[in-house]
Amino acid sequence: MIAMAAVLAVVSLAPAPVAGQAPAASHWNPPRLPDGRPDMQGLWIADAVGAAHSVEDGREQESDIIQGRVGERNPIVIVEPADGRIPYQPGPAARRKELLVGIFTPTKMEHVDPHVRSLLDGVPRNIYVPGGFQLRQTPGLMEILYESNHAYRTIPMDGRPHVGENIKLWMGDSRGHWEGNTLVVDVTNFNEGTWFDAHASFHSDALHVVERWTMVSPDQIDYTATIEDPKVFTRPWKIALTINRNKAKGYEIWEDAKHEGDRDVEHILETGRSEKAAGVTGIHEHHRER
């Protein structure tokens, strides 16, 4: 018992990662494909699925309980700015507040999370929604197959330019290149249809995302995304999270699709309209205040 107490004491004194810090750089040398590029292929899942509810609030408490992480430090997904909040301009901030009131008692389609409506999640939300994804590499291409909404991205690595500026896409237009062992993906040409989370964190069609994927061990990728939108945000902001290899025995990506005749959204709106008629008011909140 004394020896165990000593071990626990040493562990408790070990420096903990500071909330808001980006993942540390790694000098680990990843396995290589025949073309010499890092081999990142396989099934992966982000350790921040709660960010799909609120990117400003990190992991969900329910996720911590299920995975036995009760009492652990809640990882902050937004690492810049330091307050962990999306830097909305005054006008868009007011618009977001209107949406949060609408989410509490939804009466219109715009009050329902696009993910709930089975629309594509966009970038970077597709990284941290539940379900995970598969990375595939072929000469000149990186492919990402997502379980959520059966989405996918094909990322050219040959230096070709982005598509024309008038083309607007749910998942944006991705172009990748390597900087050492880091995969850098530049994503443009978004439409306005996606949110970063279920907390009405919206953007415009001027959204620009730069992702950086770095394998730091055989089973871990450090992921960051720098996000800017001059129509909506006062400055660029940045998220950082850990992606782990999915080692569940026999796991494979399954098709995720709505069944025919699904009426969830209809019922959500009916309930919201009934509650509003009954005088129910409020605003959609984060899972917990920080």
pLDDT for 74-122, tens place per residue? Answer: 467 999 999 999 999 999 999 999 999 999 998 999 999 999 998 999 9
The pTM of the full predicted model, rounded to 2 decimals, is: 0.83
Q: How far apart are CA 106 and CA 269, in angstroms?
A: 6
Which residues, including other chains, have CB under 8 Å from residue 220's CB and lie 6 or more apart?
A: 242, 243, 244, 245
Fold of 37-91+122-255: Lipocalin (2.40.128)
Domain ranges of the chain: 37-91+122-255
**Does the pLDDT of residue 65 top 50, yes or no?**
no
Mean pLDDT score of the chain: 85
pLDDT for 12-48, tens place per residue? Answer: 343 444 444 445 455 789 999 999 999 999 999 998 8
Give φ, ψ of 196 to 5 degrees: -75, -15
Q: 185 has which bridge partners?
A: 176, 211
Q: Which residue has the higher pLDDT, 135 or 20?
A: 135
Q: Which two tokens stand for residue 118?
A: 């089975």
pLDDT band at 149 (very low <50, low <70, confident <90, very high): confident
> Comparing C-alpha atoms, which of 201, 237, 218 is closest to residue 122?
201
